[in-house]
Amino acid sequence: MVSQSAVALGIAMLGVYGVVAYFVSSARASSASAGARRTPVRIVKLVVEHTIHILLIGLLPGVLIASLSSG
């Protein structure tokens, strides 16, 4: 039996994946239209930085709310 927390984690992971995939496709399109050449290392760095920002923006309020509600 799948717990509710596992389902919530799966939905959150799909959401983060969707946002990052959208960001990567839009960044690729904008850099291609501008004629800029990005090396694979720069692209990976850009994606990792953006993903970390998304996770922190979602994680900080979640941890705050969880700590306030459990106390």
pLDDT tens-digit profile of 17-30?
A: 888 888 878 777 76
Q: Which domain holds residue 65?
A: 4-70
pTM, two decimal places: 0.54
The pLDDT of residue 21:
83
Q: How many domains does the chain have?
A: 1
Is 80 exceeded by the pLDDT of residue 42? no
Question: How deeply is 53 buried, as exposed, middle or buried, from its count of CB atoms within 10 A (0-12, 13-18, 19+)?
Answer: exposed
- pLDDT level of residue 65 (50, 70, 90 thresholds): confident
Average pLDDT over residues 6-35: 79
The pLDDT of residue 49:
86
